[in-house]
Structure 1
């Protein structure tokens, strides 16, 4: 019964475009593969590949190269789409986000062989990831997984297996297959794409994007997944957005740019800070032990240096003279300290102004790269 239910869920879950939106041709001059369609305008910086999966299928992938990129996005598209329909979106994202981008068709989608199933999509994204590593030399820590709608399933499955992954982007994601149809509270073993159980296992920053008026996957899916993230990034809840039009909102590209910039520039620094923070507790312990040992020699020295009574009297007289000199020194020290305290009090009134100026400089830096206004960020974070 369970196998039958799982098969039924799989049949209802996958809707590959029929017919596919593209065909594959071989360029006579270069011998390279290219996508052919009435709506496609070929770009010189896009590779088309056929990849073999461990399930025995041959899937089609495209790789948009950006010569100035340091990060690579592996994009798992949504249902009822193929890379022919996504071609322009992929190339535009590669250009505007300054990233390399690989998109691929699931088994049974586009010109990929086989039939779609949950396990096949896992093998499909694994083949695409392997291609990035072996063919293009992309490192795991430089890859961002992007999962849209149904694509959130294979994206999160792979993310749980990659400890050094840079980041994850979830676009209109699902909690699970059955939860799209009914808001169940328990995960059944025959359910597919159990993202609700996998998201807590992801150890990298996660950005969630969802429309508040999504008529296919309820907005609550994205919100709950974001709440379950270990390392949350400021989400993007697009008011009035539905399942298929989020790319039309100006905030969509702006927020993605901000996320990519943060991941590219801040993530390595954050990793170093976290590594240092784990070593911090050892330093105070060592310092405390070192300080605890110091008084012992001085007490031993006092024990050894017990003088005679007469000698102690002479020492007391010399000590009294030293005390008088110290008293006069202390009076001068107190006067200097009182002046210093007045100066410090005056300086403390300047601290808020310095903090305000540094925040303004940060705002100027953010604005200069055209990402987002700092005041806008504060408002968005408060609403979230």
Structure 2
């Protein structure tokens, strides 16, 4: 097969490309330039997609003896990921930019271009597995190493995209083994630290970064009863579940910390309360997509058992889900058998059955049995 290897400059993508070459595929490496500010270099393990990363990707391809290219996707990235991030925060939601990047850049824009150029598959260093069923349909599953599993951030992949997805690290039992393999192969990135944080906010100061992009207006912080307990400099810089940085002048009656329960952008109000009120038992999601062919219950509207996960490294909890028609639009309704805390509109909920990823939706509303709808 002709395989396009997406080379981030990290150890995972380098080893994935090496395995694709070793398997006999015709491999070409490509690094995505996602920023028009290439002078920024990595600081420790923060950020990614820098000049340093592109050089590391080139060195890996040179060692493997495969062609290497840099594709400029910076405009698409700015519009589909960065601006989406800003817009979602401005609307009082908490987005996941890595989900949007996988959805719109790495497995939409990149795959579209790859297929147009005659490639059969896009290979990445994600820890996830694609399984083909008896009828030849492809399913997305968790990786062998559940501690490193990245199927959550790939939950946005569609049936068509899975036909062209290749994840050579799927069966690797640990990240330590990947690093050891990179060392054996002579790859210079063998001990390169993993990247963390949002790539376009490498210093990790999301609130400070947003303050430069969104016009912040001071407003009230109220408790769950509606009583004012403090002031804020801009509601858009808060997120559900946040405890630090509230700077409340009026302590809670029980003396315990308060947490952000809700953000109301139209009123420019932040609602806080005790940690217990963060518990959510029902989630409603919009912008649904299915990873592979949807299960039969999706079409019939019947409820089906599943596990639900709302964070990349969070636990999946048992749940039941169904698809409803609400004013002509499909809405995913998930009833949790174990309450989750800190669920925020804008986050992504991914559904599983066993190790299989069923699909995902963007959280629109959450409901707590102890509170009115958020």
Q: Normalising by the residue count of structure 1, what TM-score does the alignment of the two structures yield?
A: 0.21
* Structure possessing the higher radius of gyration over alpha carbons: 1
Please identify which structure carries the higher helix content. 1
Please identify which structure carries the higher strand content. 2
Q: Normalising by the residue count of structure 2, what TM-score does the alignment of the two structures yield?
A: 0.21
Q: Which has the higher contact order (CA 8 A, sep 6+)?
A: 2
